[in-house]
């Protein structure tokens, strides 16, 4: 079931935990990085799901974009949010905080494959990000629950409950305006709850806060099923927490992880630059592809043609 991917060779890789996370040292990222290093980075991301590269103080948004382009085709910053940058998306605490578990942009069919996030301004305390391996979560399920998950599908939407709750509580107009922009065009897509990772062949749970409901069951059952599997994803053994320093850039496999930005830094400013790479359309264990219900994401992103990593 689990594919064997050879460990990266040329890079210095230090694991952060048994199931997820690694720090890569000894490289200077740029748009002219050596091809072999790029391949090793790609493998490190596939194996460890989240890779941190420290000390990249020289990177600008443009150089981040150029470097990230070596790993795939960048998407536009966001399907609906246009006011926060034209290449990189400015993640800015004044407009909202992603303190809820999710994979990025799962409301479209072509979910980005990799997200990269670079620290620009950090609060003096708090503001770390936690990542969870959705592959480890699937693999640690008992067989009975794997079979159940394999057969479920979920509707994902950018009009989602968590943000509504947040906007209601929001004390300022910036957050409300951001939420309005986020929902300005409705996207709804049906995805399998278990997808086959196109590069590693691993099975990963595909849920997170954009899920509106599990298909074919009552609202109550949908909530129970969602909680059952989502709670498995966020078990602490499946997670790694990264406490940011300036110069850090984190690259995560958005097909194999969820993340949560911890809101424990009061009203202080926190800014990061995000560039995402185009992904493919998820495929279920029976080979069925995700289905668009509403919205056309063609302008947001091309559909990536994944290359299976050699075993
Ligand atoms: O602020 C963070 O650490 C993460 C925000 C987030 O969810 C994202 O950039 O996709
Ligand atoms: Fe995110």
Please give, one letter per residue, the 3-state secondary structure of the chain. CCCCCCCCCCCEEEECCCCCCEEEECCCCCCCCCHHHHHHHHHHHHHHCEEEECCCCCCCHHHHHHHHHHHCCECCCCCCCCCCCCCCEEEECCCCCCCCCECCCCCCCCCCCEEEEEEEECCCCCCCEEEEEHHHHHHCCCHHHHHHHHCCEEEEECCCHHHHHHHHHCCCHHHHHHHHHHCCCCCEEEEECEEECCCCCCEEECCCCCEEEECCCCHHHHHHHHHHHHHHHCCHHHEEEECCCCCCEEEEECCCEEEEECCCCCCCCCEEEEEEECCCCCECCCCCECEEEECCCCCCCCCCCCCCCCC
Which of 64, 77, 94, 98, when mutated, tests ligand 1's pocket best, judged by the most ligand atoms within 8 Å of its CB? Answer: 98
Q: 6 lies in a domain?
A: no
Rounded mean pLDDT for each run of 10 residues along the chain, 311 residues in total: 55 96 96 95 97 98 97 90 81 91 97 98 98 98 98 94 58 74 88 98 97 97 98 98 98 98 96 97 98 96 88 59
Ligand number nearest to the C-alpha of 116: 1
At residue 1, the pLDDT reads 45
272 CA: nearest ligand 1 atom: 1
Q: Does ligand 1 come within 6 angstroms of the Cβ of 115?
A: yes
pLDDT at res. 167? 55
- Ligand 1 pocket mutation pick from 113, 272, 273 by most atoms within 8 angstroms of CB: 272
Q: Is residue 246 part of a domain?
A: yes
Structural domain for 71, as ranges? 12-294
pLDDT at site 170: 59
Whether 91 is in the pocket of ligand 1, judged by its Cβ within 6 Å, is yes
The verdict on residue 189 lying in a domain is yes
CATH of the domain at 67: 3.60.130.10
- Has residue 305 been placed in a domain? no
- For residue 61, tell me if it sits in a domain: yes
Is 97 a domain residue?
Answer: yes
pLDDT of residue 171: 58
pLDDT recorded at residue 108 = 97
Q: Is residue 310 part of a domain?
A: no
Ligand 1 neighbour 272 (Cβ under 6 A): yes
Per-residue model confidence (pLDDT) at position 105: 97
Q: Looking at the 3D structure of the chain, how many domains does it have? A: 1
Would residue 308 count as lying in a domain? no
For atom 3 of ligand 1, the residue with the nearest CA is: 261
Is the shortest distance between the CB of 89 and ligand 1 below 6 Å? no
Active site residues: 102, 104, 259, 274
> How confident is the model at residue 10, as a pLDDT?
75
**According to the model, what pLDDT value does residue 9 have?**
60
């Amino acid at each position: 079931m689990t594919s064997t991917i050879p460990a990266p060779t040329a890079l210095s890789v230090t694991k952060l935990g048994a199931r997820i996370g690694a720090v890569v040292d000894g490289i200077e990222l740029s748009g002219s990085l050596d091809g072999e290093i790029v391949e090793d980075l790609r493998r490190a991301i596939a194996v460890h799901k989240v890779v941190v590269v420290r000390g990249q103080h020289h990177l600008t948004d443009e150089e981040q974009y150029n470097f990230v382009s070596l790993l795939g085709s960048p998407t536009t910053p966001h399907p609906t949010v246009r006011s926060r940058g034209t290449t990189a998306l400015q993640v800015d605490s004044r407009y909202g905080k992603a303190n809820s578990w999710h994979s990025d942009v799962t409301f479209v069919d072509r979910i980005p494959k990799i997200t990269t996030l670079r620290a620009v301004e950090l609060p003096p305390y708090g503001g770390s990000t936690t990542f969870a391996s959705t592959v480890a979560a699937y693999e640690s399920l008992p067989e009975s629950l794997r079979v159940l998950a394999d057969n479920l599908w979920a509707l994902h939407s950018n009009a989602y409950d968590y943000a509504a709750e947040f906007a209601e509580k929001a004390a300022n107009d910036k957050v409300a305006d951001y939420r309005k922009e986020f929902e300005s065009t409705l996207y709804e897509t049906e995805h399998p709850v278990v997808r086959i990772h196109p590069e590693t062949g691993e099975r990963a749970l595909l849920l997170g806060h954009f899920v509106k409901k599990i298909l074919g069951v009552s609202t109550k059952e949908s909530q129970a099923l969602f909680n059952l599997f989502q709670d498995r994803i966020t078990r602490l053994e499946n997670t790694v927490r990264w406490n940011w320093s300036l110069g850090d850039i984190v690259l995560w496999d958005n097909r194999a992880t969820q993340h949560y930005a911890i809101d424990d830094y009061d009203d202080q400013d926190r800014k990061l630059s995000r560039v995402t790479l185009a992904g493919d359309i998820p495929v279920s264990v029976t080979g069925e592809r995700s289905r668009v219900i509403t919205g056309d994401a063609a302008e947001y992103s091309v559909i990536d043609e994944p290359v299976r990593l050699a075993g």
